[in-house]
Amino acid sequence: MRKLLSILLILSTTFTFTNAIAKDSSESLDQIVAVINDDVITRTEVNAAIARIKLQMPQSKTPKFITLQKQVIEQLINRKLQLQMAQQVGVHVSDKELDNAIEMVARQNQSTVSELYQRLQQEHLTVSDYRKEIRDQMTLQKIQQQEVAGKVTITPDEVKNFMRLHPAKLAPENSEYYFEDILIPLPESPSTKQVTNAQQKANQIISDVKKGKSFLAFTQQDKSLQKIELGWRKLADMPSAFIEQASTMQRHDMAGPIQTSNGLHIIYLAELRDKGQNAQANQKQIENLLLQQKFEEAVQNWVSKLRAQAYIVVNSKPHDIT
């Protein structure tokens, strides 16, 4: 419901839906962009969808028009197929469900439904078109839940494997790391030989630690090495050069050599702790993340099957659409 509400909120603030062109004998062929079974996508629908995207996306990040146009046509085809399937299997959204959803949108915008409708009219948008768009979005949610969601499962092994491979994603805002750091100093402008020697020394340290030698013992034996205590830190507070490798490390992992302006670093994750979040909450967080990922993949696979079974003809010159 939270995901659906966020979609409806976006629609309520950036809605520019345009009336679909009536599919009758007066509609000229050049207005039909694609045929999907017994339905069509019109030029007006494509242009309206492009306008919606441009309103929601910064101009600097908007792809080239032809690229965007092709993407929009593909999205509209997928949408039509899902709505057709919903109609075939009897999935629908009642007027009461629709009214409740729009009331939620209005409350989230700190307004009444009447005020929401008045704002639409001021923007030259019709209430009927707005309600149709919201109903279609809710129908898509329902058909996806019915046809896909029930088939998506997560096993305990998948959760454990994810937690092992992506420890930083468990609770990135709460996790704290205790790193030990060995620095092999280098001058401001080191020669190639100096860098090579430092790398060889770093690789030897890593090799010896893996064989069981104490990490910090090297700084006691070799006075040219520097021991740096980073203390307990959140990932965001780590030196920027360390963050990428640190984010994927597990307890007692090493990373390096990492070159910075003062030399080569070898970091060792001595401890990792979560503040204010227990293991059960972590596991639930991962389960929800994996379920969402697998659900999205399953929806894509399901839509691909719908496309394979459908009659689809797309205008061979989509760039002619203006």
DSSP string of 188-226? SS--HHHHHHHHHHHHHHHHHHHTT--STHHHHH-TTSE
Secondary structure E strands in the chain? 32-36, 39-42, 175-185, 226-234, 254-260, 263-274, 312-314
User: So what's the pLDDT on residue 286?
Assistant: 80
Side chain identity, residue 113? V
Instruction: Give the torsion sign (CA, 291, 296, 299, 304).
Output: negative
Side chain identity, residue 262? N
Cα dihedral 51, 55, 60, 63 in deg (nearest 10) = -30
Q: How far is CA 241 from CA 175, 236, 237, 262, in A?
A: 19, 11, 11, 12
Question: Each residue's pLDDT tens digit in the chain (322 positions)?
Answer: 445 444 444 444 444 333 433 344 344 444 888 999 999 998 888 888 887 777 666 655 666 778 888 889 999 999 999 999 999 999 999 999 999 999 988 888 788 999 989 988 887 788 888 899 899 999 999 999 999 988 898 888 888 787 767 655 554 556 788 888 888 888 877 788 888 888 888 888 888 878 777 777 777 777 777 777 777 888 777 777 787 777 777 778 888 788 887 888 888 888 877 655 555 656 777 888 889 889 999 999 999 999 999 999 988 665 555 4
> Residue 312: beta bridge partners?
36
Residue whose entry in the numeric block shows the structure tokens 């979005």: 137
C-beta of residue 244 within 8 angstroms of C-beta of residue 253: no
Identify which of 122, 99, 126, 133 has the alpha carbon closest to the alpha carbon of residue 7: 133
The domains spanning 2-153+287-320 and 172-274 adopt the same CATH topology = no
- The b-or-e profile of 87-121 (16+ CB within 10 A means b, else e) is eeeebebeeeebeebbeebbeeeeeeeeebbebbe
Neighbours of 132 (CB within 10 A): 15
Identify which of 241, 244, 228 has the alpha carbon closest to the alpha carbon of residue 178: 228
C-beta of residue 239 within 8 angstroms of C-beta of residue 227: no
Model confidence, pTM: 0.57
Residue whose entry in the numeric block shows the structure tokens 């129908």: 139
d(CA 295, CA 193): 53
d(CA 8, CA 4): 6
User: So what's the pLDDT on residue 81?
Assistant: 96
For the 172-274 domain, the top CATH level (class) is alpha beta
Length of the chain measured in residues: 322
2-153+287-320, what's its fold?
Answer: Triger factor/SurA peptide-binding fold (1.10.4030)
d(CA 47, CA 31): 11
Identify which of 79, 108, 84 has the alpha carbon closest to the alpha carbon of residue 8: 108
> Residue 41: beta bridge partners?
34
Q: Which sequence spans correspond to the domains of the chain?
A: 2-153+287-320, 172-274
